[in-house]
């Protein structure tokens, strides 16, 4: 009969105890953070990415507020707001599945859906939420010789970050007025870089397409006197005739500190969009959560007061997602036939 020394026997007992403990711990580990218990027991946690924009605009705080609402109120969903190059990049992130919600200007939504301009194929986007109107700001410092849009010819002009909705809008607006990149010394800067570029006289003119007021221009106006270059009625008529998703708006006097002049300029609505492949269940859950938490959005960005079901219907340039339609039907909001997606017909 084999006999173990006391020291060897102690070692065997210790190893058995440690093995038993490790099995208990492994059993408790479960889904490794992929499950989240709720009233109905454990359910799979869905992680979603929200593609926003640069930190100097309104997309990033708006997207951050969306993530906060979803994380606090949507059961079994975890959202993260990501800094991106904005609209054009966001459409591509939705197409690749790297993002599940994207904040886009409606001109880019329309072009991506139809495979036009910077998109070589259609992307199956669906409208989730109408956000607010983006206003085009063409900004120079006071005293600049650029007093009208035609005056930017020959100047150092930032047309927006690469892949951004600002550059897309700037390109089309200037093209409608017969101004090409050959007529300017173009820079492709983010909103924050626009501010620094104007301060340091690296550029003469910076273009923003953003909800007003925006932090980066507010920051510039605290240290320098600015001039927001206006568009004439004739210029606006030319732009909207060629690109009907743009409309004329007036930036009120006093929008920025020390600048008490009304400015006529182009505007375009923004939307939160999703891919067609998002499940109806998830889209419905998110729509119900976000629309019923509008006050939380407004607390972060006042312009979100416009983020309503009615404005979503009025501003949409591509069909709604079936999950959003389910929520709208539940609250008695009619959806016109042209906004019903092909998968529901």
pLDDT at 34 (0 to 100): 57
Contacts for 201 with CB less than 8 Å, ≥ 6 apart: none
For residues 104 and 89, give the distance between their C-alpha atoms in angstroms, rounded to a whole number: 9
Residue 72, Cα to own-chain centre: how many angstroms?
20
Please, are residues 261 and 297 in contact by the beta-carbon 8 Å criterion? no
pLDDT at 25 (0 to 100): 31
Instruction: List phi, psi (to 5°) of 213.
Output: -80, 155
Please, are residues 307 and 130 in contact by the beta-carbon 8 Å criterion? yes
pLDDT at 65 (0 to 100): 98
Report pTM: 0.76
Cβ of 305: how many Cβ atoms within 10 Å?
13
pLDDT at 37 (0 to 100): 46
Please, are residues 324 and 128 in contact by the beta-carbon 8 Å criterion? yes
For residues 201 and 148, give the distance between their C-alpha atoms in angstroms, rounded to a whole number: 19
pLDDT at 163 (0 to 100): 82
Q: Could you write out the DSSP letters of every residue in 230-245?
A: PPPHHHHHHHHHH-TT
Please return the burial class of 215, using the count of CB atoms within 10 Å of its CB with bins 0-12, 13-18 and 19+.
Answer: middle
Please, are residues 246 and 240 in contact by the beta-carbon 8 Å criterion? yes
- Strands 77-82 and 46-51, by their bridges, are parallel
pLDDT at 6 (0 to 100): 37
For residues 87 and 282, give the distance between their C-alpha atoms in angstroms, rounded to a whole number: 23
**Domains of the chain, each with CATH number or no CATH:** 44-132+269-344 (3.40.190.10), 134-268 (3.40.190.10)
For residues 281 and 128, give the distance between their C-alpha atoms in angstroms, rounded to a whole number: 13
Instruction: Point out the residues of the chain with pLDDT beneath 70.
Output: 1-42
């Amino acid at each position: 009969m084999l006999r173990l020394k006391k020291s060897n026997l102690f070692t065997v007992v210790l190893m058995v105890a440690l093995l038993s403990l490790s099995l208990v711990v492994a059993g408790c580990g479960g889904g490794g953070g992929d499950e989240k218990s709720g009233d109905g027991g454990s359910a799979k946690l869905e992680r979603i990415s929200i593609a926003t924009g640069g930190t100097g605009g309104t997309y990033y705080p708006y997207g951050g507020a969306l993530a906060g609402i979803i994380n606090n109120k949507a059961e079994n969903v975890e959202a993260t707001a990501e800094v991106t190059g904005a609209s054009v990049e966001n459409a591509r992130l939705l197409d690749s599945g790297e993002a599940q919600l994207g904040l886009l200007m409606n001109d880019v939504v329309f072009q991506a859906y139809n495979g036009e301009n910077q998109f070589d194929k259609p992307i199956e986007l669906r409208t989730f939420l109408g956000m607010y109107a983006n206003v085009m700001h063409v900004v120079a410092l006071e005293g600049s010789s650029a007093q009208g849009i035609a005056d930017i010819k020959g100047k150092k002009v930032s047309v927006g970050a690469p892949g951004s909705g600002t550059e897309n809008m700037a390109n089309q607006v200037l093209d409608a007025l017969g101004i090409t990149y050959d007529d300017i010394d173009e820079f492709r800067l983010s909103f924050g870089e626009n501010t620094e570029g104007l301060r340091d006289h690296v550029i003469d003119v910076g273009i923003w397409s953003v909800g007003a007021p925006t932090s980066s221009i507010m920051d510039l106006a605290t240290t320098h006197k600015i001039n927001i270059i206006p568009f004439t009625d004739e210029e606006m008529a030319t732009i909207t005739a060629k690109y009907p998703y743009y409309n004329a708006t007036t930036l009120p006097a006093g929008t920025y500190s020390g600048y008490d002049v009304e400015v006529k300029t182009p505007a375009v609505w923004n939307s939160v969009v999703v891919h067609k492949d998002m499940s109806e269940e998830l889209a419905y859950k998110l729509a119900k959560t976000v629309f019923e938490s509008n006050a939380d959005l407004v607390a972060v960005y006042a312009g979100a007061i416009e983020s309503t079901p009615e404005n979503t219907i009025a501003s949409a340039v591509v069909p709604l997602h079936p999950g959003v339609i389910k929520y709208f039907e539940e609250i008695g909001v009619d959806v016109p036939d042209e906004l019903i997606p092909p998968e529901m017909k």
